[in-house]
């Protein structure tokens, strides 16, 4: 029983070392802070953050269900390919999570339901066969739009203002770029199962160059919040650290392209950059 419980926790990845599903809930709460600052309606903000988090749990579990053959190559220790959890159990668990996310969102109002549904739909379309945005050029945009839905969902508990829109756009753009690193680390399994991610379509080196271009375009957008509000030293320092971390991840990728270990290392560094961006926006909202 204990082993299965741990496996279900692993399935939803709340403590994942590279990209925790809790990140989406943090993005939602950050959106609430950007929209309302110190006047934030805490109860509603926590509700929509919980709804988005439950949906993220469901989306990641769903992805594992349909990626079981890929994970058998890339991550055979995962709960489903290791057969600790059956496909039927995973599907039932995922359904409960999706329904729970909508029921929780229901108590936060119509906009919370809409953004939670949009977040869920993007996640479903990313994974399920026939549609499967993961297989093609739209995969990374799907990731980015999911982050934007989380931010705007949080902001919707009061009003979606300019700061929330800037944060949603910047994070969407940068997440789409970082998604390329995830595809790079999973390239072996994707090739084996004929999944056409961008690194496979363009080649690994070109994918790294595309990520570099997207970061050069995306990071300056982060400074718009200071232009629109006021100079914020804490925000500036945190964004500086974020750019430093991300720049280091690119250096790691350029130094040794083609290495799965390097791709995993770069992805973890970029995940840390993502959490730093969330902290930066919180500083922007509260200081």
Give yes or no for residue 62 having a pLDDT over 70: yes
Confidence of residue 228 (pLDDT cuts 50, 70, 90): low
> Looking at residue 101, what is its pLDDT?
97
> Looking at residue 231, what is its pLDDT?
72
Q: Is 189 helix (H, G, I), strand (E, B) or coil?
A: helix
Q: What is this structure's pTM?
A: 0.90
**Mean pLDDT of all residues in 244-248:** 93
Confidence of residue 54 (pLDDT cuts 50, 70, 90): very high
Counting every residue written for the chain, the total comes to 287
Q: Which CATH architecture has domain 18-286?
A: Orthogonal Bundle (1.10)
The closest alpha carbon to 194, from 134, 125, 114, belongs to 134
> What pLDDT, in 10s, does the model give residues 13-49?
998 766 789 999 999 999 999 999 889 999 999 999 9
Averaged pLDDT of the chain: 89
The closest alpha carbon to 163, from 34, 24, 21, 14, belongs to 34
Question: Environment class of residue 8 by beta-carbon count within 10 Å: exposed (0-12), middle (13-18) or buried (19+)?
Answer: middle
Give yes or no for residue 198 having a pLDDT over 80: yes
Give yes or no for residue 1 having a pLDDT over 80: no
Give yes or no for residue 276 having a pLDDT over 70: yes
Q: Is 84 helix (H, G, I), strand (E, B) or coil?
A: coil
> Looking at residue 17, what is its pLDDT?
61
**Mean pLDDT of all residues in 188-207:** 86
> Looking at residue 57, what is its pLDDT?
97
The closest alpha carbon to 124, from 31, 213, 59, belongs to 59
Residues 6+ apart with CB under 8 A from 186: 70, 74, 197
Lowest-pLDDT choice from 51-55, 115-119, 219-223, 265-269: 219-223
Q: How many percent of the chain have pLDDT more than 70?
A: 97
> Looking at residue 100, what is its pLDDT?
97
What Rg value do the Cα atoms of the chain yield, rounded? 18
Backbone φ and ψ for 40, nearest 5 degrees, come out as: -55, 130
148 neighbors 25 (Cβ within 8 angstroms):
no
Q: Is 175 helix (H, G, I), strand (E, B) or coil?
A: helix
Q: What is the DSSP letter of 221?
A: G
**In three state form, how does the secondary structure of 241-254 look?**
HHHHHHHHHHHHHH
**Mean pLDDT of all residues in 191-220:** 87
Give yes or no for residue 226 having a pLDDT over 80: no
Residue with tokens 């375009």: 217
Lowest-pLDDT choice from 3-12, 29-38, 70-79, 159-168: 70-79
Confidence of residue 112 (pLDDT cuts 50, 70, 90): very high
Largest CA-CA distance found in the chain, in angstroms, rounded: 54
> Looking at residue 229, what is its pLDDT?
66
124 neighbors 62 (Cβ within 8 angstroms):
yes
User: DSSP string spanning 53-65?
Assistant: HHHHHHHHHHHHH
Please give the angle made by the CA atoms of 165, 47 and 32, to the nearest 5 degrees: 25
């Amino acid at each position: 029983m204990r082993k299965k419980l741990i496996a279900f926790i692993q399935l939803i990845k709340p403590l994942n070392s590279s990209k925790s599903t809790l990140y989406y809930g943090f993005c939602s709460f950050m959106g609430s802070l950007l929209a309302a600052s110190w006047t934030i309606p805490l109860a509603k903000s926590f509700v929509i953050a919980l709804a988005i988090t439950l949906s993220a749990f469901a989306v990641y579990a769903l992805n594992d269900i349909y990626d079981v053959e890929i994970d058998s190559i890339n991550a055979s220790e995962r709960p489903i390919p290791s057969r600790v959890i059956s496909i039927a159990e995973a599907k039932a668990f995922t359904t409960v999570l999706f329904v729970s996310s909508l029921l929780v969102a229901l108590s936060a109002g119509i906009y919370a339901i809409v953004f939670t549904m949009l977040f869920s739909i993007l996640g479903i379309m990313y994974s399920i066969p026939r549609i499967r945005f993961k297989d093609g050029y739209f995969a990374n945009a799907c990731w980015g739009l999911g982050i934007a839905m989380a931010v705007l969902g949080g902001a919707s508990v009061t009003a979606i203002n300019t700061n929330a829109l800037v944060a949603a756009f910047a994070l969407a753009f940068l997440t789409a770029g970082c998604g390329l690193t995830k595809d790079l680390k999973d390239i072996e399994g994707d090739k084996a199962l004929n999944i056409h991610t961008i690194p496979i379509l363009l080649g690994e080196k070109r994918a790294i160059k595309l990520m570099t271009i997207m970061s050069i375009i995306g990071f300056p957008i982060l400074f718009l919040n200071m232009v629109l509000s006021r100079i914020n030293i804490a925000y500036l320092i945190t964004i500086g650290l974020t750019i430093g971390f991300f720049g280091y991840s690119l250096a790691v990728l350029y130094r040794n392209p083609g290495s799965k270990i390097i791709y995993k290392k770069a992805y973890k560094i970029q995940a840390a950059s993502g959490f730093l961006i969330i902290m930066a926006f919180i500083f922007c909202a509260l200081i």
